[in-house]
Amino acid sequence: MSALAYSYSEPYKLPAGALALVVHGAFFALLYFGVNWHNEQPQGMVVDIWNALPAPQAEPVKVVLQPVPQVEQPRPVTPPKADIALPAKKKPKAPEPKQAVEVKKPPVQLKQTVPKISEAELAQQAAQAEQGRAREAQVAATGKVVDEYVARIRAKIKRNIVMPPDAQDNMQAEFDVILIPDGSVLSVKLTKPSGSIAYDEVVERAIMKAQRLPLPPDPSLFNRFRELHLTFTPKEKE
């Protein structure tokens, strides 16, 4: 059994020994070269001996030139293009030469001759003017007569008024009175109460009691008294 095993392992001993020799040879070579590299002798130094110190030399001044910063020039700004094209301006037209204006002279008006008025026409105009003045005088006289008789009527009615206890000076009662030609009262109507029923009734009774009311003798003036509008207040004096 051992002889058989020896016969199988014998062929591998030669390569193993060769590998061991190569490894040991490389190791000894590394040691040899490494020792020789550290045993190199240093080179010699040369020293100069001076009797005196040399004069110090001025060190050259170094001038450092700094670059000048460049200033950026502003770029020209181009205006944005308008989306809508503006119409081109029209050149003003040259003024047209003024034409000579022909001035027309106003026509010469002939003086109209005023017709002469005859004496008869003058007399007629004077008569018309006199009639106008007469009518104005008659209207004024009629108005004076009417005012006089209205005052007489109001005075006769007020003499019949008996003031009630609650009468005040600021009260005012208005009546419409209708008369007949002999001065009798046909109707009495209260158009604006005074605020006091007692005062309104007293005035209405005084109107009925005062008939026949005074009227002017001229019957043509009765139309001015047919419908009277009378106002009464306690503060009036006779």
Question: Helix or strand or coil: residue 223?
Answer: helix
Token pair belonging to 152: 């007489």
CA distance 197 to 199: 6
Q: Is the pLDDT of residue 116 over 90?
A: no
**What is the per-residue pLDDT for 7?**
45
Work out the percent of the chain whose per-residue pLDDT is above 70: 57
Reported confidence tier of residue 2, pLDDT bands at 50, 70, 90: very low
> pLDDT at position 207, please?
94
CA distance 135 to 137: 5
pLDDT digits (tens, 9 = 90+) for 159-212: 999 888 888 888 899 999 999 999 999 999 999 999 999 999 999 999 999 989
In this prediction, residues 112-129 reach a mean pLDDT of: 79
CA–CA distances in Å: residue 63 to residues 17, 59, 60, 161, 180:
75, 12, 9, 137, 143
Q: Are the C-beta atoms of 174 and 231 separated by less than 8 Å?
A: yes
Burial call 130-144: b when 16+ CB within 10 Å, e when fewer = eeeeeeeeeeeeeee
Provide the Cα torsion 172, 177, 181, 183; round to 10°: -50
* Residue whose tokens read 């204006």: 101
The amino acid sitting at 218 is D
Q: Which helix (H) or strand (E) holds 83?
A: none
Model confidence band, residue 156 (pLDDT cutoffs 50, 70, 90): very high
Q: What are the residue ranges spanned by the domains of the chain?
A: 134-232
> pLDDT band at residue 235, thresholds of 50, 70 and 90?
confident
Average pLDDT in the 41-60 region?
Answer: 59
> Tokens 């004496």 label which residue?
119
Question: For residues 233 and 171, is the Cβ–Cβ distance under 8 A?
Answer: yes
pLDDT given at position 50: 60
On average, the pLDDT of the chain sits at 76
| pLDDT digits 0-9 by tens, 53-110 | 556 555 665 656 666 666 666 666 665 555 555 556 666 666 665 566 666 666 666 5
Q: Give the global pTM.
A: 0.45
Q: Which of 233, 170, 237, 236 shows the shortest CA–CA distance to 202?
A: 233
Could you tell me if 137 and 145 are in contact, meaning their C-beta atoms sit under 8 angstroms apart? no
**pLDDT reading at 43 higher than 70:** no
* pLDDT band, residue 33 (cuts 50/70/90): low
Closest CA relative to residue 191, chosen from 178, 180, 208? 178
Alpha helices in 87-217 (DSSP H): 119-158, 197-210
Query: Span 217-238, mean pLDDT?
Result: 85
Instruction: Name the more confident of 220 and 21.
Output: 220
Q: Looking at the domain 134-232, which fold is it? A: 3.30.1150
